[in-house]
Structure 1
Amino acid sequence: MSSLEEAIDKEIGEVRTESLDFSYGEIVNLHAEKALIIQPDYQRLFRWSDVQKSRLIESILLELPIPQIFVIENSDGVFELIDGLQRISSVIQFINPSILGLEPLVLQGCNLVSQLDGNKFDDLPLRLRLTIKRSSVRTVVIKRQSKSFLRYAMFKRLNTGGVILDPQEIRNCSARMVEDDGVKFYTFLQQQASHSAFKNCIKTLAKVDKEKKGDEELVLRFFAAKNAQDLFKGSVRDWLDNYMEKILLKELNFKYELEKENFNKLFTFIDKVMGDRAFLKYRGNNSIGGLAPAYYEAITVGTFYVIEQIINVDTNLVKQKLIDTVQTKKFRTYTGSGANKREKLLGRINTIKNALLELVNE
């Protein structure tokens, strides 16, 4: 047997799965009994419109093929849904909306059997209600004996649903596959994203980006820019994925308490100096536009490097120095077009650091 065949055979043995057919009635009952967990962290819950949900119900009644779903078996035997959230939550909302805390789904937009429109579950004849409850969906169970890394990799590859997740959502969801260590890290990101000084400093982050967990991504981006500059190869998404993955798989040692202390101290200082104008471009003393990620990296990490030296400097001097520095030709050579290069990342960080040091060397 070749080494390639042996490598594949080894990995096949490391992930264990089982395929089952669950009826939708069983799925509703499992969820009601908390034996099937639907975590909204996996996908932005209920993105589907009522028309999309209605057409799924229509498809079930017409016995059209429904894609399989994936669940992961936790250590206590409870199933956790990791792919198929929109489909399963839509069926649960139709059959028993109360367990989701939602209003009953009223069918609409059914384009194959228009007579279904306007009906709730209880409005349907008994035979059709039973048809829905007894219809089954193929369920792939990722067994609890599977290695954490392969569970993690599997979730990333399963992100092929009708609504594509955004990068930080995928990272958070993937982290759950590594169980306690993964939950610990992404919970840490969420907690830091809720820090009051940080929230004020990034107030100019676009609403659409906040809805995509952009605030949590900025927390991760600070730690990556501070701790993993060597991993940056040009793609920000790959850089953040790689850095977070190395932490989850314990290839990098992330010191939670120290990092939390550093983060809180830094953003409390930046908030005091710059407030919600911290990471913007400037024209003279007037800020323009929204939060600029390259400016965010430079100002956060550049300031972190020298915070002990400048902590007692007049905040007005620090503010003016930052405003002046981001408008210099030197700083701008490290931002804008082509900014996603490691040397430019280092260049803009060091430009801020050196400019702030001038305040204590003057």
Structure 2
Amino acid sequence: MTYHDVTISEIRTTAVDFSFGELLNLHRDKEIIIRPEYQRLFRWSNEQRSRLIESVLMGLPIPPIFLIENENGVLELIDGLQRTSSALQFLDHVAIHEPELVLSGCDFMEELNGKTFNTLDSLLRLKVKRTPIRATIIHRAGSSFVKYELFKRLNTGGSLLSAQEIRNCSSRMVEGGDRFYDLIQNLAAYRPFKAAIARLPASMRDLRADEELVLRFFALIAAKDRFKGNIEEWLDGFMEDVLFERIRVDLGELESNFVETFDVIADTFGDQAFTRFNSHGEATGRLAPAYYEAVCASVSADPDNIRRQNPMEVIGKLREAFQSDDFKDATGPGANTVQKLYQRIDVVSHYLRS
């Protein structure tokens, strides 16, 4: 099936009202799967989870959740994890392997603060268990593309998931996507890579920016000519082309290239490869994506050239490249064009060869 083959008839949905108690039982019986890789299980704070329970007890409407039917007829939660898991944690924290939820931050029903499910009175316990939440079930479709697009569209534009988290989760909807996702995760944990990107802020790692850098490396190697101003669209398009076999790439070859490249970068530059240098020649600041692209593409094209040189001399050459007018021109305003990408790669390659 190609992109253009998707028809409305392939998308069948059913709306069902489940009580939270029913969701808990379905989860216990493994008839509903809650995959933590779809959304980090508890990005919500304890107060946010508590306020959901407070809203339930106040009788306020709860936004719907979305489930998709897998090949075995089991339902997988693809949107609404925060709401669902918060309620399940309150009802039975053991069932989802989380600490007991002690309510806090409730400001309309302050008497709830400090309560757990078991310390509520029986009427309130029943109200939580019996409160319905609308669930839209997306029935099994023959097209992986349909499932992929539905997940991406449900999550795009919200604040819960970063672009890379959506990519990671969406890839699970496609046959063979697990391998691609697992490769990205494994390489993001590769020690030389972690050393080389040490200047990436922790807050960005929390949003899987390190995994996005792995994907960016793959795209640089296999789809550099498709680079465009909107980086998310470039990376989305590359990943989708791989998953739906619009282009053919050898993942084993990409992995080998990645490992060799970052072995060389970490050994030679440490954490100084992707950042600016101050007037004293000292590396300063956080990782700069445009610098990352230029260095990765240059080193991956000829790693033996870097190995043959003295590391201190190579760092000096890289510093000169970054401070050159041509490189500044290629990383300033309008840098996200394919012409500027090639320009900054050429500048770095020229300096590292000299």
Q: Which moved more, 1:238-247 or 1:224-233?
A: 224-233
Distance 1:10 1:102 in 2: 40
State whether structure 2 residue 290 is matched by structure 1 residue 277.
no
Q: Give the unaligned 5+ runs of structure 1.
A: 1-6
Alignment of 1:187 onto 2:182:
yes
Between 1:158-167 and 1:14-23, the stretch displaced more is 158-167
Q: Whole-Å Cα distance in 2 between the matches of residues 310 and 111 of structure 1?
A: 61
Summarize deviations over 1:262-298 as a string: whole Å, max 9, x none: 1101110111110111211113531111111111100
Letter in 2 for 1:136: P
In 2, distance between residues paired with 1:106 and 1:100? 15
Aligned pairs (5 A) from 1:81-100: 81-100=77-96
3-state SS of 1:188 partner: helix
Residue aligning to 2:317:
321
Per-residue deviation, residues 146-182 of structure 1 (Å, max 9, x unmatched): 411111111111116863321111111111221x322
Q: 1:294 aligns with which of 282, 290, 296?
A: 290
SS in 1 for 2:66: strand
Letter in 1 for 2:68: I
Contact 2:67 2:137 (C-alpha < 8 Å) held by counterparts:
yes
Query: Which residue in the other structure is 2:56 paired with?
Result: 60
Identify the residue that residue 221 of structure 2 maps to in structure 1: 226
SS at match of 2:233: helix
Secondary structure of the residue aligned to 2:271 is helix
After TM superposition, give the deviation of residue 315 of structure 1 in Å: 3.3
Would you say how many aligned residue pairs link Structure 1 and Structure 2? 351
Give the unaligned 5+ runs of structure 2.
none
Counterpart in the other structure of 2:243: 248
Taking a change above 3 Å as real, the CA distance of residues 162 and 94 of structure 1, as seen in their structure-2 partners, is farther
CA shift for structure 1 position 9: 11
Distance in 2, Cα, partners of 1:108 & 1:203: 36
The DSSP-based 3-state class of the residue aligned with 1:276 is coil
Moved more, 49-58 or 340-349: 49-58
* Mapping 1:146-225, distance limit 5 Å: 146-159=142-155, 163-178=159-174, 180-225=175-220
TM-score by length of 2: 0.92
Instruction: Give the aligned CA root-mean-square deviation in angstroms.
Output: 2.2
The 1:292/1:81 distance shift into structure 2, 3 A limit, reads same
Whichever residue aligns with residue 173 of structure 1, its letter is C
Q: Tell me what 1:4 maps to.
A: none
Q: Indicate if the aligned counterparts of 2:16 and 2:136 stay in contact, CA closer than 8 A.
A: yes
Residue identity matched to 1:181:
G
Q: Give the letter aligned to residue 52 of structure 1.
A: Q
1:96 offset after TM fit, Å?
0.3
3-state SS of 1:119 partner: coil
Identity, in percent, stands at 45
* Cα pair 2:276 2:322 within 8 Å, conserved: yes
